[in-house]
Each structure stands twice: as structure tokens, then as C-alpha cells.
Amino acid sequence: MFESSYIPRWVGYQNNRWVGTERYDLIAPITGAPNPNDYPFKKYFLESNAPVYENTPNFFAPGPKNVEVKIKIAIQKGNLYDLSGIEKSRDKPLLVVKLSDGTYNVITFNQNLILTEDDLEKYRIPIMINGLEMKKIDFNKQKSVDAATLTTTIKFDQDGYTLPRGIGDPENLQYNRGQIYFLIKKQANPDGTAINPENYSRILGAEIISFDQLMAKNVFEKPGGSWRIKEDAPYMKDKVSITLLESFQHSSYIGIGSTNQSLFSKGTSIDIDNISPALLQQHSDDLSGKNRYKQVFVFRGLPYSFGQLNFNDHFFCRV
């Protein structure tokens, strides 16, 4: 028997994971429960201008000092569905579960709706990126990749740490140049009066945008040294902002040992029980950091998302 008390009424994005909390009014998870890997949408690290270091003495603790890195990120097309067209009331929970046959079970307060992709089309909201509607990336066509690519920034400070330092740190800023945002515009009353607070608003549009792109639209101010969105910024009127990517948490330098460089890069691996003592010692020194060969910049998932292959390409919400 379905019990509505099991369904989170609010689901939001907080501390790099989707969580159920009354602080947010987004209804998000596709798989039936808040999950830190339920990111919309799949992102690809393309390239960076990060310097490569060779045999740097005492490298790195934890990274190079005073280095700024530009990173290009391509974002695969996904769909946004406005579920306010199914249930508007904030007092009634709603959940979406993808079934094994590819259909979606939309669980409302008093019914279950089984919807196909075609059925969902009337709820779909186009998503813009770089001023154009998002399309599926064709990696064989550079124009297709460029159209889906945004640039983000990483700054290593004077101690080699990426900025901001991290969650909970006093220097952690709510907004920074390393972020990419998912903006959702909700409908306002034409006469300027407030939307009924007991209902969700219809979604009018959505876009994926970088910090620097927002900066160009005169959205941010920096009182006291911390970036924040201006309260009267026209571009942000009636928009909900979600941090889609926080690049500083994915960025670091690693040392690559010479044996790793010569063997692993060729698709082979070291059989510890069947190599010469000299190579075994070299490999041991490489792993310990004694013989670091190259130091390269890497962009990767958080520890709990290593190996994660399934990223949601659909995003259901009410705002």
C-alpha cells in the first residue's frame, strides 16, 4: 500500500548531493530516493590549460601555488519536465520512478500515472546553453561539441589549495568562478502580484550557464570580498538557481611515476610476482612518490562517484 509519508515533499541539491529537506522545494530524484549520484546531466572533461610539471622537487602538497586553470566542460543534452502540470499543490507530495520497460511512474497524492517518453513531451521545458537550445552532442562534429561546452575556472592559492577551500570552511563561498548553474525561470503574475504560495508555479524556461556568463549579465556583486547575486538583478528575476557543477572539488594534481607512465599507459599492468627486483623497487619508489616523473592536472568525480556511469538525462521538478 502506498503511504505518502514515505515520499519526500521537498528535494534539493545541497553539499554536492540531492537531499530531501523542507529547505528546498525541488522534486528531483528519478530513481525513487535521494541519491548523491543523481546528477543532471552527464558532463565531460574536454581539456584545460593546466601546466604539466616534470620532476618538480617536493611536489605537491597539495598542489602548485598561485596557479589559475581554465577547464572546458561539455554537458550532454537532457530533458527538464515541469510536474506542476500534474500536481500544483505544495501540500501534496509527488515522486517519479523510472520502470524497467523505460516508462515513468509518476506517483501523486491520489494516483499513479504510467507515462511514456511521448506522454512526457507536453511537460518538457527546452533547456538553453550558450544561447541555443541544447542538442545531443555528436563528438565527431566539433561544432556540436562547442555548442555544448562551457568554461570554468580553478584557482590554486598560495598554499596550493583550490579555492574555495571546501565545505564548512570559513573561506567557502556560495558563489565562485568555478561553478556552472542550472537556472529555472518560473511564471510570475503579469500584474506583479505574488504567486499563490500554496501552489507551485509553471516553469517558463531553463538554461545552463557558467559563472563568467552570468558575470557578463551584471548578476553578481562582491561585498566584503564574497560573491553574491544582487537582490535586484533583473536577469535573475523569478529564477531558481541550482549549482550544477562545483569544479574546485573535482580538481587536483597527481604525480605519475615512470613505471606507471611506461607500462600502464600502454594498457598493460605490473605483475608484482613476475618482474625484476630492480623494476619492483622502481615501482615501489614511484608509488611512494620518491621517483615522480610527471605531475599532471586531473578532473574527476568525488570518491563516492568513482566509476559512476549512469547519470540521469531527465530532470523532473516543480518550482
Q: Express each pLDDT in 306-315 by its tens digit.
A: 344 445 678 8
pLDDT surpassing 60 at residue 254: yes
CA distance 120 to 102: 12
287: three-class secondary structure by DSSP = helix
C-alpha cell belonging to residue 219 = 548578476
pLDDT surpassing 50 at residue 6: no
Task: Return the half-sphere exposure (C-beta side, CA atoms, 13 A cut-off) of residue 171.
Answer: 7
Q: What is the mean pLDDT of the chain?
A: 74
Say if CB 284 and CB 190 are below 8 A apart.
no
Mean pLDDT on 151-169: 77
For residue 283, give Cα distances in angstroms to 239, 268, 294, 296: 53, 14, 14, 18
225: buried, middle or exposed (CB in 10 Å: 19+, 13-18, 0-12)? exposed
More reliable by pLDDT, 20 or 164: 164
288: three-class secondary structure by DSSP = helix
Residue 224 backbone class (left: φ over 0; alpha: ψ -120 to 50; beta: rest): left
Say if CB 36 and CB 304 are below 8 A apart.
yes
303: three-class secondary structure by DSSP = helix
pLDDT surpassing 50 at residue 266: no
